[in-house]
Amino acid sequence: MSETPSTPSGIFRFLDKTGRTTVAGIEEVGNGGLMVLESLYWLFLGFRVKQPVRLNAVIQQMTEIGISAIPIIALLAGSISTTLAIQGIYTLRIFGAEGHVTAGLAFIVVREFAPMITGILVAGRSGSALAARIGTMKINQEIDALKVMGINPVRFLVAPPLIAMLIMVPCLSMMSNVVGLFLAGIYINFELGISLAAYLDQIIDILKVEDVLQGLGKSAIYAIEIAVIGVVNGASVRGGAEGVGKATTRSVVQSISAIIITAMVVVILTTL
């Protein structure tokens, strides 16, 4: 009896799917990188071809991404910093060292938590909105409409939110530092009796400029990640409203994952 060709086994299908997913992922990263470069081109050289990035579009995005997010980011930065202060005092009290809580708190808030919480909230609010907006525009042929009008979609749709995020995420992160440390200071004052002035002096003594810059640098990286992931997911939408929903969800999950992984990589690199 002649052998009949066997159907692809589960392992081959798995490898095939894994390979395709990997290639698609690499393609998305490449598209994201190209969009960042193209956005920078339009930002710095767009005026030479009479197609500048519109300042009012950037300001509008800065308002949506930054100003509107101030209350929720302040609330969460304050809550998390206070929680860290409570847990820090609880842990250090075991060793009789609760008076040193300010040092740990200052480092972890400025270098890690303030940029991370800010990034996660911006990803949830603005990264998802960006993916939904671009996805909806794509299925409604609005991106095609831009192209046929001779308007570059990257200049019109990608550069303004990218620039706005690069400006506003570090600003919001700085605000998170201030609000978080201030509210934690109130709790420490209440719990340990350290005056706010003494608490502030301790923070100024402990923190170096590099610590603040590290946090702000991370915020800038998070900003690029959020914008690029939002745009790439929005641009890959297929299949109508359901596709927009999937892209929005993917965008949030990927942005938050990217932020947390970046935080880990940076802390490993800077403490080695």
Partner 1 sequence: MADSETQSTEKVIEVEDLVTHYGERKILDGITMDVRDGEIMVIMGGSGSGKSTLLRYLMALETKTSGTMRILGRDIDDLSSQDFVDLRKKLGVAFQGGALFSSLTVGENVMLPLYEHTKLEIQTMEIMARMKLQVVELGGFEDLMPAELSGGMIKRAAFARAVVMDPKILFCDEPSAGLDPAVASALDDLILTLREAMGMSIVVVTHELESAFKIADRITVLDRGKILMIGTVDEVRSSKNERIYNLLNRVPEDDTMDPDEYLARLTGEDFDIGNQPL
CB contact set of 32 (below 8 Å; sequence gap of 6+): 228, 229, 231, 232
Tokens describing residue 1: 């009896």
* Binding of partner 1 by 56 (CB under 8 A): no
In the chain, the N- to C-terminal Cα span, in Å, equals 65
Q: Among 11, 94, 149, 272, indicate the residue that binds partner 1 (CB under 8 A).
A: 149
Burial degree of 191 (CB within 10 A; 0-12, 13-18, 19+): middle
Of the two residues 11 and 50, which places its CB atom closer to partner 1 in the complex? 50
Nearest to 222 by CA among 149, 177, 166, 181: 166
Tokens describing residue 265: 């990589």
* Binding of partner 1 by 173 (CB under 8 A): no
Of the two residues 20 and 147, which places its CB atom closer to partner 1 in the complex? 147
* Binding of partner 1 by 154 (CB under 8 A): yes
Q: Residue 129 and residue 164: Cα distance in Å, rounded?
A: 14
Contacts to partner 1 from residues 222-251, by CB under 8 A: 231, 235-236, 238
* Binding of partner 1 by 196 (CB under 8 A): no
Query: Least distance to partner 1 from the beta carbon of 80, Å?
Result: 33
Stretch that binds partner 1, among 6-14, 82-90, 153-161, 194-202 (CB under 8 A): 153-161
Rg for the chain (alpha carbons), in Å? Answer: 23
Q: Give the SS3 label for residue 1.
A: coil
* Binding of partner 1 by 254 (CB under 8 A): no
Of the two residues 47 and 190, which places its CB atom closer to partner 1 in the complex? 47
Interaction site with partner 1 (CB under 8 A): 31, 35, 49, 51, 134, 136-138, 140-145, 147-151, 153-154, 157-158, 231, 235-236, 238
